[in-house]
Amino acid sequence: GTDEPLLSVRGLGVRYGDAVTALRDVSVDVPQGGIVAVLGSNGAGKSTLLRAISGVLTRQAGRMTGGEIRFAGERIDGVGAERRVKSGIVQVPEGRRVFAHLTVQENLRAGRYGNPKGKRPGDLERVYDLFPVLGERRSQAAGLLSGGEQQMLAIGRALMAEPRLLLLDEPSLGLAPKIIDRIVDLLREIHGQGTAMLVVEQNAAVALELADHAYVLSVGEVAIEGAAERLRGDDRVRRLYLGGE
Ligand code: ATP
């Protein structure tokens, strides 16, 4: 029905090798058109959760030990990473990871994955409308962009694949507060154009400002969950993740 979440993770367990249990019985939903945040400190399992959803766990010698992942009602945890991109799950990787020696425009074209050539000639223009600085620098090597601009390029590249769900891994990492505000505004605008988001962040203040709903992961388990507004006022969240008293 229409109440069905766009993404539904149920009872997810993940291990790396035989020794490391990275996630235990994790359940997370992203409603249609929602923005959901996952908070947690270093090593809590945030990146592992994104890898399980995007389907790249095995590249890190990880594997699911239990649970299921559904997207738009379909079971996807047995499906390859490429097919997940084509179905609309697109990740913006941590640390930007743009192709430094390619131009801005070549980077954007490389993101047109699962979105056949020529089908949507307006997509580059859409990205340049959202991020005018990328249009101005379209012929420059991506490695010459500032950190904030590289983050914008990584988001723009993901948009080229026409995501229904954007997975964002620490979009604020290493950026100055003013640039973070700008990125948050842009993500809101993209969300307003109809893209759901799952945002992983160590910066809880940023995540709770952007999201409607949030989960706190602690040592591989969901420790706290609720409306972002409620979590902003939650004592444990304030003490542990917002630097409050
Ligand atoms: P960070 O923000 O530091 O990346 P995180 O919350 O994203 O932290 P993960 O990277 O998902 O956490 O790591 C969760 C746990 O799994 C940690 O204990 C980590 O050491 C372990 N882990 C992650 N990747 C691997 C791997 N390839 N092999 C073994 N253990 C791993």
Q: What is the DSSP string of 184-215?
A: HHHHHHHHHTT-EEEEEES-HHHHHHH-SEEE
Which residue type occupies 152?
M
Q: Atom of ligand 1 at shortest distance to CA of 44?
A: 6
Residues 6+ apart with CB under 8 A from 31: 5, 6, 196, 213
Q: Which of 14, 15, 16, 58 to mutate to test the pocket of ligand 1 (most atoms within 8 A of CB)?
A: 16
Torsion angle (degrees, nearest 10) of CA 52, 56, 6, 231: 50
Half-sphere exposure of 112 (CA within 13 A, CB side): 17
**Predicted pLDDT at 114:** 57
**Predicted pLDDT at 213:** 97
**Whose CA is closest to atom 25 on ligand 1?**
16
Q: d(Cα 207, Cα 36) in Å, to the nearest integer?
A: 8
Q: Atom of ligand 1 at shortest distance to CA of 94?
A: 4
**Predicted pLDDT at 118:** 47
pLDDT along the chain (245 residues), means of 10: 87 94 98 96 93 92 96 96 94 81 94 63 86 96 93 94 94 91 94 96 92 96 96 89 68
Number of other residues whose CB lies within 10 A of the CB of residue 105: 18
**Predicted pLDDT at 93:** 76
**Whose CA is closest to atom 27 on ligand 1?**
60
Q: Atom of ligand 1 at shortest distance to CA of 61?
A: 27
The reply to whether the predicted model has a pTM over 0.90 is yes
Q: d(Cα 145, Cα 16) in Å, to the nearest integer?
A: 35
**Predicted pLDDT at 115:** 57
Q: d(Cα 16, Cα 18) in Å, to the nearest integer?
A: 6
Q: d(Cα 153, Cα 172) in Å, to the nearest integer?
A: 14
* Pocket (CB within 6 angstroms of ligand 1): 16-17, 20, 22, 40, 42-48, 60-61, 202
**Predicted pLDDT at 86:** 92
